[in-house]
Amino acid sequence: MIDRALCIGINAYGNGSDLAGCVNDAQEWAVLLSQRGAQGVQLFDGDATRWNILAAMTTLVRQLGRGQTGVITYSGHGTWVPDEDGDESDHRDEALCPVDLWDNGVITDDELFEVFTSRVYGSRLVFISDSCHSGTVNRFASPLRPTGRRVRFLPPAAFLDGARLDRARALPAVRAGRSRTSALTLAGCRDDEFSYDASFDGRANGAFTRVALDELDGLPQEASYADWRRAISWKLPSQDYPQTPQLQGTASQKRWPVL
């Protein structure tokens, strides 16, 4: 049983950075979560501003009571920015890209941490992110036969300038790490990988979202998030989509009943 849901999908970034499958992802998550009892909010394209996303996340988290579960899904560009407070070993903050990032900036993992930790003790929060630098197995499945693909990553040079851009360019190559979040997080790839915007049977979707939804259908009723992650790992990474979905959280969170 899911009590509250927030589904975010952004295709229309402009500046040559548009995506194709993110709104479809968010709509499909919204339908699924509604079927499982959630009261939902959806933010697509122009509505998915930095302020609106943070406000909607904060509202969802504060509305959760003890014993209740909330799910937040995000499909869109991901990125990283230089760490400002020294809490990241790789000197980067992973970040989500709202539609107005060109004017108002990104949403960092530090900001998500502050929102997610404001929830009531005993409530459950799940964050599903289909974006680059959102969070390892070495198995490669057979091709998923795409008709097109694009990475869901915006390089820092696309929106940073001045001293912050100089700092970003001086950092060493990205390596795998852990996002700073208190929610159970199911992410489309490791921090040093890309999540792919693709097409399946003529419909645009994120490769991770498509596989995650398809594998969810085949899980037994008592399945956990660890079981779901394991099922996804049979399809990703693949020859077409070299991305390794991640499940980050405590041991007890990973044993929660899936959705």
Catalytic residue among 22, 77, 97, 133: 77
Residue 77 annotated in active site = yes
Residues 46, 62 contacting (CB under 8 angstroms): no
CA-based nearest residue to 78, from 91, 101, 95: 95
- Do 213 and 203 touch, CB atoms closer than 8 A? no
Give φ, ψ of 22 to 5 degrees.
Answer: -70, -40
Burial 87-98 (b: 16+ CB within 10 A, else e): ebebbbbbbbbb
Alpha carbons 57 and 61: distance in angstroms, whole number? 6
Q: Which of the residues 7, 97, 132, 189 is marked catalytic?
A: 132
Q: How many CB atoms lie within 10 A of CB 65?
A: 11
What Å distances lie between residue 235 and 10, 198, 230, CA to CA?
25, 15, 10
What span, in angstroms and rounded, lies between the C-alpha atoms of 209 and 226? Answer: 16
The HSE-up count of residue 68 (CA atoms within 13 Å, CB side) is: 17
Whether 97 is catalytic is no
Cα 130 to the chain's mean position, in Å? Answer: 4
Alpha-carbon dihedral angle through residues 232, 234, 236, 237, given to the nearest 10 degrees: 150
Distance CA 118, CA 114 (A): 7
HSE-CB of 156 using CA atoms within 13 angstroms: 24
- Residues labelled catalytic: 77, 132
